[in-house]
Structure 1
Amino acid sequence: MMELLTSVLGWTEQTLFIGFVVFARIGATVFLLPAFGEQSVPARVKLAMAVSFTLIVAPAVYPQIELALAQAGPLSILFPEVVVGLALGVGVRLFVLGLQTAGAIAAQSTSLSQIFGGAGVDPQPAISHILVVSGLALAVLLDLHVRVALMMVSSYDLLPVGQFPDRDFLTMWGVSVVAQVFALAFTLAAPFVIGSMIYNAALGVINKAMPQLMVAFVGAPAITGASIFLLAVSAPFLLSLWIGAMNAFISNPFG
């Protein structure tokens, strides 16, 4: 009986530690994820989400972690897991920052920088706030949690347990993700930038033809109305392009 209890306790201790190793990677990722890791989300909710993801991912990667624990010390495994989790979380979080950047570029190109105000934790232009809230809602509706769970499971094949990512590889990967996100941000803001260029060119022609006319007073309502209309028309297409790029990254973060 004592031998049975000893074996059960040993198995339970090992299982709990394996779960803690999985939590080290997933917890660092969840606290940076879109929607789940927002600053407005309470820490207890983030912790509950991290534990939930851990319960989902741990059974799928149990053999790999068990083998890694047999080959290395327990403490030497935890720190690399946190680094890997942070890298994955930052990679996904950059797409939200890209959406904010697109909104900031669009707001600077038009006159919608201050309209509506901001309801987020960080001050941001109204277009950024609208796009970010809409994008996060769309991502959650399109099974963001399922995609993240699959990403975490597949990450153990690309980045084994207890091994630090190669520094050069991680640097090149980070630079490529940042470049991809900035290119996406400029692409999303392109309709507003083009509209602003047309507006300024037309305003210059009118001012040249009629110097006595206060074109700024005439053009301000026009650019504001046109920007709101353009936002309403283009937002579904912009968000579909954004969610497609983010889902492609989550499906293959190191591709």
Structure 2
Amino acid sequence: MIAIDAELLDLSRTGLLTAVAVFLRIGAMMALLPAFGEQMIPVRVRLATALAFTAIVTPAVAPQLGQIEQIRLIYFGTEALTGLFWGILLRLLVMTLSIAGSIAAQSTSLSQILGGASVEPLPAMGHLMVMAGLTLAVILGLHVHLAAMMIETYTITPFAQRLDADLVSTIGLSHVRRAFALAFSLAGPFVIASVLYNVALGVINRAMPQLMVSFVGAPALTAGGLFLLFLTLPYILTVWSGALNAFLVQPASAPR
């Protein structure tokens, strides 16, 4: 009986150490995850979510981790940095929507409307895009894709190993470039509409200098921006959701 208790104690100790080692990476990643790591979510909920992801990921990656005798101090550095790296890449995709919303709001003179509606100072159009994108991602099973990605990160960056400089430079810089390019592409219709509006305004001003065209055109620009948002938001979310799913499926592939 004592031998069985000792064996169970060793198994529970090994399982607990493995779960703690996994939590070091998952906990760091959780601080930057889309939807689940937002600042508006209470800290206790985020902690419970991190523990839930740890419980899901640990059995899948336990064979790769091997038998962990103790949690070394170096694990806190390597695993935390690895989790932050992958979390930052995911956060860049959320920032894509906020950047696109800021560009669109500036183009349509809507940047000052409801600017404090979110935790971060963000125009209402950007806040709407971010919240709609996160809601769509959660509806489409974001938690399942995140768990699969967390498991995949242990194949790309093994446990207790430092981040490869080539991986950070290649994948990281490629995703930064892709994030800004995608943000400008999503806001493209609003930029084009703003250019056409200003060109038309200049032509009318040259034709009728006595008319205060800015006062006449400002309401039209605001209404046109809101109507354009109504038309383009489904397509914007579709493109963004495709980019998010592509990254979650193949996190190590550099975007084109």
> Scaled by the length of structure 2, what TM-score is found?
0.95
Matched, 1:134 2:132: yes
Structural mapping, 1:202-213, within 5 Å:
202-213=200-211
In structure 2, what is the equivalent of residue 50 of structure 1? Answer: 50
More deviation, 131-140/4-13: 4-13
Structural mapping, 1:141-220, within 5 Å:
141-220=139-218
Opposite residue 33 of structure 1, the aligned amino acid is: L
Q: Is the 8 A contact 2:186 2:236 kept in 1?
A: yes
Opposite residue 29 of structure 1, the aligned amino acid is: M
In structure 1, what is the equivalent of residue 19 of structure 2? Answer: 19
1:254, distance to aligned residue in structure 2 (A): 1.0
1:18, distance to aligned residue in structure 2 (A): 0.1
CA distance in 1 between partners of 2:158 and 2:115 (Å):
45
CA distance in 2 between partners of 1:179 and 1:2 (Å):
60
In structure 1, what is the equivalent of residue 248 of structure 2? Answer: 250
CA distance in 2 between partners of 1:168 and 1:252 (Å):
17
Aligned partner of residue 152 in structure 1, secondary structure: helix
1:119, distance to aligned residue in structure 2 (A): 1.7
1:78, distance to aligned residue in structure 2 (A): 3.8
1:3, distance to aligned residue in structure 2 (A): 2.3
1:9, distance to aligned residue in structure 2 (A): 1.1
Opposite residue 111 of structure 1, the aligned amino acid is: S
CA distance in 1 between partners of 2:64 and 2:100 (Å):
41
> Scaled by the length of structure 1, what TM-score is found?
0.95
1:174, distance to aligned residue in structure 2 (A): 1.4
The 1:230–1:57 alpha-carbon spacing in structure 2 relative to 1, beyond 3 Å, is same
More deviation, 153-162/1-10: 1-10
Structural mapping, 1:29-44, within 5 Å:
29-44=29-44
**Deviations for 1:184-206, whole angstroms, at most 9, x for unmatched residues?**
00000000000000000000000
1:30, distance to aligned residue in structure 2 (A): 1.5
Opposite residue 139 of structure 1, the aligned amino acid is: A
Moved >4 Å (runs of 4+): none
Aligned partner of residue 112 in structure 1, secondary structure: coil
Give the share of equivalent positions with the same residue, in percent.
51
Q: Is the 8 A contact 2:201 2:213 kept in 1?
A: yes
Opposite residue 176 of structure 2, the aligned amino acid is: V
CA distance in 2 between partners of 1:89 and 1:134 (Å):
20
In structure 1, what is the equivalent of residue 59 of structure 2? Answer: 59
1:73, distance to aligned residue in structure 2 (A): 7.0
Q: Unaligned stretches of 5+ in structure 1?
A: none
The 1:107–1:237 alpha-carbon spacing in structure 2 relative to 1, beyond 3 Å, is same
1:117, distance to aligned residue in structure 2 (A): 3.9
CA distance in 2 between partners of 1:146 and 1:169 (Å):
25
In structure 2, what is the equivalent of residue 9 of structure 1? Answer: 9
Q: Is the 8 A contact 1:60 1:153 kept in 2?
A: yes
Q: Is the 8 A contact 1:111 1:224 kept in 2?
A: yes
- What RMSD, in angstroms, separates the aligned Cα atoms of the two structures? 1.4
1:171, distance to aligned residue in structure 2 (A): 2.4
1:28, distance to aligned residue in structure 2 (A): 1.0
**Deviations for 1:36-95, whole angstroms, at most 9, x for unmatched residues?**
00011111000000000011111111111125x37x974433421111111111100111
Aligned residues: 253
In structure 2, what is the equivalent of residue 115 of structure 1? Answer: 113
1:158, distance to aligned residue in structure 2 (A): 1.1
CA distance in 2 between partners of 1:241 and 1:180 (Å):
13
In structure 1, what is the equivalent of residue 99 of structure 2? Answer: 101
